[in-house]
Amino acid sequence: MNMGVGSTAKTIAKAVAYGFLGRPALAGAVDLLGGDDGKTSDPVGPASAPSQGAAPQAKVAKPNERRSRDRSGGRQPTRREHRRTQQTARHPTAVVSHVIDGDTVELDNGKTVRLIGIDTPEVYGGSECGGPQASAYMERIATGRQVAVRTDPTQDTYDRYGRLLAYLDADGTDLGEAVLGAGWAEVYVYDQPFRRLAAYREAAARRRIAWTGRLDHAELADLLPAAEAMAVPSTFPEAFGMVAAEAAACGALPVVAAHSGLAEVARTLGAAAPDQVRPWLTFEIGTGAVRELAGDLSAWLAAPAGVRTATREAIVAETRATYSWDGVARTVIAAARGELDGVPRP
Report how far residue 164's alpha carbon sits from residue 86's, in angstroms, rounded to the nearest whole number. 16
- Which pLDDT band, with edges at 50, 70 and 90, does 209 fall under? low
Q: What pLDDT is attached to residue 207? A: 72
Is 4 within 8 Å of 36 (Cβ atoms)?
yes
Between these two residues, 196 and 49, which has the higher pLDDT value?
Answer: 196
Interaxial angle between packed helices 260-272 and 242-249, expressed in degrees from 0 to 180 and rounded to the nearest 10: 30
Are 153 and 1 in contact, with CB atoms under 8 Å apart? Answer: yes
Query: What are the Cα distances from residue 320, in Å, to 100, 175, 244, 245, 315?
Result: 42, 40, 13, 9, 9
Res 303: pLDDT: 87
CA distances, 124 to each of 19, 121, 131, 301 (Å): 49, 9, 9, 21
- Which of 50-54, 60-64, 268-272 shows the highest mean pLDDT? 268-272
Q: What is the pLDDT of residue 1?
A: 43
Within 13 Å and on the Cβ side, how many CA atoms surround 110?
Answer: 0
Q: Give residues with Cβ within 8 angstroms of 342, minimum separation 6.
A: 331, 334
CB 318 within 8 A of CB 265: no
pLDDT the model gives residue 166: 96
- Amino acid present at 160: R
Residue 83 has pLDDT above 60, yes or no: no
pLDDT at 65 over 50: no
**Higher-confidence position of 271 and 27:** 271
Residue 211: its pLDDT value, please?
64
Q: Who wins on pLDDT, 331 or 310?
A: 310
10 Å CB burial of residue 305 (0-12, 13-18, 19+) is exposed
pLDDT, position 343:
64
Tens digits of residue pLDDT in 94-142:
999 999 999 999 999 999 999 999 999 888 877 787 888 899 999 999 9
pLDDT of 208 = 63
> What integer pLDDT is reported at residue 78 of this predicted model?
54
pLDDT band of 57, cuts 50, 70, 90: very low
Higher pLDDT, 37 or 317: 317
Higher-pLDDT residue of 314, 241: 314
Q: Where are the beta strands (DSSP E) in the chain?
A: 94-101, 104-107, 112-115, 118-119, 146-150, 164-170, 173-174, 186-187, 229-232, 253-257, 282-283
- The answer to whether residue 73 scores a pLDDT higher than 90 is no
CA distance 51 to 327: 82
Model confidence at 200: pLDDT above 80: yes
The pLDDT of residue 7? 43
pLDDT for position 12: 38
Q: Which of 97-101, 321-325, 342-346 has maximum average pLDDT?
A: 97-101
Interval 231-284: pLDDT, tens = 988 878 876 788 899 999 999 999 999 999 899 999 999 999 999 999 999 999
What's the predicted TM-score (pTM) here?
A: 0.42
> Is residue 59 predicted with pLDDT exceeding 60?
no
Residue 158 DSSP one-character state: B
Question: At residue 31, does pLDDT exceed 60?
Answer: no
Residues 124, 117, 301: CA angle, nearest 5 degrees: 60
pLDDT one-digit tens code per residue, 176-195: 999 998 888 999 999 899 99
List of domains in the chain: 5-57+70-86 (no CATH), 94-205 (2.40.50.90), 217-336 (3.40.50.2000)
